[in-house]
Amino acid sequence: MVKSLSRNDLIPIGEMARRTGLSVSAIRFYEDRGLIEPVRTSGNQRRFLRSDLRRVSFIRIAQQLGLSLGEIDSAMRDLPHGRTPNARDWRVISASIRDRIESRIAELERMRDRLDGCIGCGCLSLKKCAIFNPEDRLASEGPGPRQILID
């Protein structure tokens, strides 16, 4: 039995916005970036499938969890058939997201501990403080964003 596509299953962009909490322009932007591919009416207006609601929610969540749109795109493209993530996919993806969160937490904790050490050490002598004395240890990676502190 093939499900017929009821009119109600074709969602215009404004309703998508309302239902996902995103702005219309953001949704268009995601289409530009290849994250969603709505169909078009004869008059060229976007119409989204129900599954796009889930897809867009997924984007929103993954983003909130710290992934860039590019990373989200790859995550979704890695799925078989480029389908909308289902429960099993979600478990796989979220496990990897979890790892990222954990590392970020660990990184911040290291930073906090370093900072604590620095507060306590009567720092700023500029001779012994690792956090406050970058001379002669960096400036060797060329231009662009750099890593700054030494672990």
Partner DNA sequence: GCTTGATCTCAAGTTAGGTTGAGATTGCAT
Partner DNA sequence: ATGCAATCTCAACCTAACTTGAGATCAAGC
Picked from a copy of itself, DNA, none, the partner binding residue 130 (CB below 5 to 8 A depending on kind) is none
* Largest pairwise CA distance in the chain: 78
Question: Given candidates 6, 43, 64, 82, which one binds a copy of itself under the rule CB under 8 A?
Answer: 64
The DSSP symbol for 126 reads S
Interaction mask 72-101, DNA, x per CB under 7 A = ------------------------------
DSSP-derived secondary structure for 57-109: HHHHHHHHTT--HHHHHHHHHTSGGGPPP-HHHHHHHHHHHHHHHHHHHHHHH
Please name which of 62, 92, 68 lies closest in space to residue 78, comparing C-alpha atoms: 92
Interaction mask 67-106, a copy of itself, x per CB under 8 A = ------------------xxx--xx--xx-xx--xx-xx-
Q: Does 134 bind DNA (CB under 7 A)?
A: no
Q: Which residues pair with 48 in a beta bridge?
A: 11
- CA dihedral in degrees (31, 32, 35, 36; nearest 10)? 20
Q: What is the size of the binding site for a copy of itself (CB under 8 A)?
A: 55
Q: Which is nearer to DNA, 31 or 89 (CB)?
A: 31
- Angular region, 41: left φ>0, alpha ψ -120 to 50, beta rest: beta
Interacting residue ranges for a copy of itself, rule: CB under 8 A: 17-23, 25, 53-54, 57-58, 60-61, 63-65, 85-87, 90-91, 94-95, 97-98, 101-102, 104-105, 108-109, 111-112, 115-116, 118-119, 122-124, 126, 131-139, 143, 146, 148-149
